[in-house]
Amino acid sequence: MRLDRLLLRAAAFLLLALSAGASEKLRVVTTLPDLADIVRQVGGARVDVNALVKGTENQHAVVAKPSMLIALSRADVFVQIGLSLESSWVPGLLENARNPRIAPGKPGFVNGSDGWPALDVPASLSRQGGDLHPHGNPHFNLSPRAGRHLAARILAALVANDPAGRSEYEAAHARYALALDAAEARWAKAAERLRGVAVATYHQEFDYLARECGLVIVGTVELKPGIPPTPAHVIGLVDAMRVRGARLVLTGAWSNTRQVAQVAEQAQGRVVELPHAVTNAQGSDTWIGMMDQIHTKLLEALDSLPRGP
C-alpha cells in the first residue's frame, strides 16, 4: 500500500518534471516539413517543432484547420518559406491565432526566403491569369543549396528567440554544415551525369533543382503555375520535347495525373515522380535524405531510358 502510494507520487512528480521540461522548450511551428527537419537539426533537444503541412500535399492548395490555429497560438517561433507559397492560408491563420510573438515583423516570425535570390520573378507583380507564383518561384526547398540557406536563417532565428541556447545551436549548426558539405559533394557528382539532360515538368517546381544539377527544362505541362493545360499547349509541349530530345516528365506525387502520363507517352518517354517536400517515407524523412532520393531517382530514370533516338 505504502509502496503503491510512493510509486504514484513518484509518477506524478515525474510527470510534473516532464511537463516542466517540455514547456521550457522553444515551441517552433513551420509550414513545410522541410523547415521542421532543419529546425530539428539545428535546434536539437532545445526545440519542440511541428510542421503544419504534410510533404505529399499540394503546397498551393492547403486547407487551414483548427489544429493549425491551436499550434500557432502556442508557438514561440513560426517559420514559413515565403515568396507567396503560403499566402492563401497563412496570413488568415496568423491573424486568428492572435499570438504577438509570431506576428510578421516580430523576432518569432521567420521568412525562410529572405535573402534568397528568386527565379522566375515576373516583370509585373500580379496574379493575372491565376498565376500562383506572383513573387517568383517559391519552390526553393528543392534547390540543393536550400539546406545551407535555411539552416543559416534558422540558426539566427533560434538564437534571437532563445539566446541562452546560442552555443548549443551553433554547435549543432556546425555539425549540420558538415553533413551538408558531404551531401552537396554527392549531388555535385550526380549532376555530372544530369547536366544537359532535357526534361519537362508538370508544375514549375523543379527550376532551382534544374539550375543546380544542369537539367534543361523544355516546358511545363501546366499552361502557367496553377493553370491546367489546353490541348494546343500539350501538342506544343510534346513537339518541343521531341525536338529537344526530352523524354522525362518530372512531377510530384500531388500532380502525377493521367495527363502527365499521356505527355510522357506521346513524347516516348517516362514519368519520374520525385518527392517535392520531406515526407514520412523512408529515405525522404529528412531534407538531406529527400535530396539524395531526388538525385538517385533522376539517375535511375536516365539509366532506364533506351539508348539512342
Distance between CA atoms of 178 and 94, rounded to whole angstroms?
35
DSSP 228: P
Q: Give the residue with the Cβ less far from Zn ion, 165 or 275.
A: 275
Q: Give the residue with the Cβ less far from Zn ion, 220 or 293.
A: 220
**Site map 92..121 versus Zn ion, x via CB under 5 A:** ------------------------------
Q: How far is the CB of 171 from Zn ion (least distance, A)?
A: 36
Q: Give the residue with the Cβ less far from Zn ion, 201 or 284.
A: 201
Distance between CA atoms of 281 and 33, rounded to whole angstroms?
12
**Site map 52..71 versus Zn ion, x via CB under 5 A:** --------------------
Q: In what order do the strands lie in the sheet with 47-51?
A: 47-51, 26-30, 77-80, 109-111
All cell numbers assigned to 78: 513560426
| CA distances (Å), origin 240, targets 97, 120, 174, 219, 235 | 48, 20, 45, 8, 9
Considering only residues 237 to 266 of the shown chain, the ones binding Zn ion according to CB under 5 A are none
Residue nearest to Zn ion (CB): 225
Q: How far is the CB of 208 from Zn ion (least distance, A)?
A: 12
Q: How far is the CB of 5 from Zn ion (least distance, A)?
A: 60
Considering only residues 123 to 142 of the shown chain, the ones binding Zn ion according to CB under 5 A are none
Q: Give the residue with the Cβ less far from Zn ion, 162 or 205.
A: 205
Q: How far is the CB of 107 from Zn ion (least distance, A)?
A: 29
Distance between CA atoms of 24 and 7, rounded to whole angstroms?
26
Q: Give the residue with the Cβ less far from Zn ion, 108 or 225.
A: 225
Q: From 68-76, 223-231, 254-262, 273-281, give the range in contact with Zn ion by CB under 5 A.
A: 223-231
Let me know the angle formed at the C-alpha of 174 by 172 and 177, rounded to the nearest 5 degrees.
Answer: 110
Distance between CA atoms of 18 and 78, rounded to whole angstroms?
24
Distance between CA atoms of 306 and 186, rounded to whole angstroms?
25
Q: Give the residue with the Cβ less far from Zn ion, 225 or 229.
A: 225
What is the contact surface with Zn ion in residues (CB under 5 A)?
225
